[in-house]
Amino acid sequence: MDSEDFWQLIGAARERAAAGPADGSASTCVDGEAVAEAAVALLAARPPAEIVAAQQALWDAMAASYTNPLWAAAYTINGGCSDDGFDYFRGWLIAQGRDVFERVTADPDTLADLPAVRAAAAEWEELDCEAVLGIVWNAHLRATGEQLPAKSFTIRYPVLDPDWGFDFDDRAEMARRLPRLTALYAHHYADH
């Protein structure tokens, strides 16, 4: 499974999750957890070698999204963002599908345009989905009854951009670098 196959899997999982439960009631918002569960089901139906290969594709996407500008955006949206929190945020981002993922990793300020982010801002809800990180593990376990083989993937995170090595609590700097996203969340930080 390569990157193209992986994104097709996520797209199919999004379609299945959007269809809603078996009773046919459609969901107005595609939940990351539902996407993760649908992806597990779809992936578990594939040959074990393909399932194992999906782990590399997943972690390649995680590496591609490991940037300081995206971390700053996640920090703004979630009111802070630890290392693990950033992983879970990127899990949520993967669950949004390839088009959104590529647009947002290229320009994190475009998160302000997403209906899910606007809704989260209105309710001050965090955006994360740890379940996406376990898609391959869970699919392999479901398909084979065994844990994913050790060393089934490698990950090489890029070096973070030192130009973004400032305090993400610096509202003025965040507004300069992520103007639309900072404006969307300005009312949450008014008291700080």
| pLDDT at 21 exceeding the cut of 70 | no
Residue 156 lies in a domain: yes
- pLDDT band for position 24 (50/70/90)? very low
| pLDDT at 44 exceeding the cut of 60 | yes
Give the residue among 39, 40, 93 at the shortest CA–CA distance from 66.
Answer: 93
Q: What is the pLDDT of residues 170-192, one digit of tens each?
A: 999 999 999 999 999 988 776 54
CA trace torsion 182, 62, 160, 102 (10° rounding)? -50
Residue 160 lies in a domain: yes
| Number of domain units in the chain | 1
Residue 8 lies in a domain: yes
pTM of the model: 0.92
Residues 50, 124: Cα–Cα separation, whole Å: 39
Q: What is the pLDDT of residues 70-83, one digit of tens each?
A: 999 999 999 999 99
Residue 67 lies in a domain: yes
pLDDT above 70 as % of the chain: 92
Q: For position 19, what pLDDT does the model report?
A: 81
Question: Which range marks the domain in which residue 114 is found?
Answer: 3-187
Residue 64 lies in a domain: yes
Residue 192 lies in a domain: no
